Amino acid sequence: MSEPAPSWVLIVDDDEDIRDSICSLLQLRGFTVETAADGMAGLERMRQGAPPALVILDFMMPRMNGEEFRAAQLRDPELAAIPVVLLTGAGDATGATRLQVERIAKPIDLQLLFDTVARFCA
């Protein structure tokens, strides 16, 4: 596997279809994307090579959920500064508020997703 380009996005979501949809749509838009199936895998991927410009994080995941992922990320000084956007169910804003990160409500508004990613990956 070749080393990803300097500015890339990490998608952490346990749902394969959602993960792959976001991945392929972002790739179609020209972004460089990597995926991870849960928080644990996401952290491992972030520690390999250059860190991502943005993490798109699901909230409810097995093994390590979004909240645990965020806590672990903040504990690691190398990763703490990486911005995170949380994917949450509509009206379930509390998770994002608690984690003090931006949120995108599910079902995802594609334009909003593209705009958000573009903001972080110049």
Partner 1 sequence: MRGAPSPDTIVTIKLRGLVRGMPASHVVSIRTRLTALSVLATLAPVGIALGFVAERDLRDIRNEMMSSSALIGYVIAEYSASAMAFEDHADAERTLNGLARDENVIAAGLYDNGGKLFGSYEARSTTGAALRPTISTGRAAGTAVEGEHVAVTQPVISQGTRYGTLLVLVSTAHLRSRIRGYLLSMGLLGLGALVAAGLLALMLERMVSRPLLALADVARRIAATEDYSVRAASVRRDEIGLLGSAFNRMLTEVDGRQQQAQQAIRVRDDFLSIASHELKTPLTSLKLQVQGLLMMPPASLDQSDAARFKQTLEVVDRQVIRLDKLIGNLLDVSRIAAGRLVIDPTETDLSTLVQEVTRQFEPQLARWNCKLQSQIEGSVIGWWDAPRIDQVVTNLLSNAIKYGGGKPIELSVESTVDRARLTVRDHGIGISVDDQRRIFGRFERAASLSYGGLGLGLFISSQIVRAHGGTISVESTPDVGSVFVVDLPRRHSSEGANT
Q: By the criterion CB under 8 A, which residues form the site for partner 1?
A: 15, 17-18, 21-22, 24-25, 28, 60, 89-91, 93-94, 97, 105-110
104 secondary structure, DSSP code: E
Min CB(22)–partner 1 separation in Å: 6
Distances (CA, A) of 68 to 44, 61, 62, 96: 14, 10, 11, 13
Q: How far is the CB of 48 from partner 1 (least distance, A)?
A: 27
The DSSP output letter for 36 is E
Closest distance of CB 78 from partner 1, Å? 29
User: Phi, psi (5° rounding) for residue 84?
Assistant: -125, 135
Q: Which is nearer to partner 1, 16 or 78 (CB)?
A: 16
